[in-house]
Structure 1
């Protein structure tokens, strides 16, 4: 009886340890400072990294790495500067990191200005049959100008935003894009007061276009113009045909 209880205890302990090394539960929001009611930064979003890499057979393959409970490890960041805030996310056993840097400009507007980090490539489920000469740690970086809004506002964009101008040194690896979706972000929050919720949102253009009542109107106008063009062409051709017939 004792040995059975001891075996069950070991099984449960091993299961907990295995699950803890495979990933950590995603936070609902990425907030800084962590575990504080007075925030300087808050964000939530879905993320996918798309990487093209060289395989052993000389062909290329594209790996899609989503940010989920299996890949997420930690997040951290800082608001040490009055005009620069950073969020860093660790993935894949802490061997891959992505840092998003936000800045405040002279017009008191915030935006995402830089994305940088490092990706570790090895023969795993995400990089099957990868070439030996691409294994290891690879740094990447890129300058951006995204999610521009006033400091006192938040920014929302449910539509996918592709960050695709990232540079990496190894020619056999290409970061095709980092995709952000279902995004709500407020990079600069007044940390003198307790944070309750995101401030008034600025909505991205694509979200406005998708939800706009103008879409059926624009489609209707386009169809009407098309009908008019066809009718004009028909009348012009008919007139030419009549003129040609009369001359005969």
Structure 2
């Protein structure tokens, strides 16, 4: 029994399919099998769509696919034993998702993502059905990480690598971009002390870490830095460097 119609035949002619592995083709699901679906692609034999090639991991596998609708499939392999093309919807969605992500990165804009999980290294996010990662060093400064779970936050792209399936984002870079009227090179800002390190003091400016390097601290304070710079004390500082790629600031002290 043939399930193609005039429109489907015209579609095949327009695309001029040669059924090569890695191609994207049009087809119609016409039968549900025990472990997958049969798909009419206009070839002598029906192609096969395994259940494990239907959904990305973020989807539920309980949803049954609709039939008699023309849609696109990715040709994953050729089964010599059954003489069938093996198709994938998951791989097609994966390619489309990465194309969208690369387009977003090219626009150099901040995007909203949802924190779907946390680990020691940072936060896991989901963007266009692709799992990404925000390192701890790029989360909002001094916020309790556990409170970010299931929250939507603004981020910018750090690494977009489809070949390595690597998507790394930064919340701090997005924060820095959103406060240009406050944080400009040479601007004077009142900021609280957030951390004291051996190499300097961190102030908190709009959830962005601002480092006062040890070399910028006046000598009269060096004898007892912890005394002069208790956590929470407000100082007026000058922004002397803005690292927009890493979401960091450097400041000097007004004395």
Shorter-chain TM-score above 0.5: no
Of structures 1 and 2, the one with the larger relative CO (CA 8 A, separation 6+) is 1
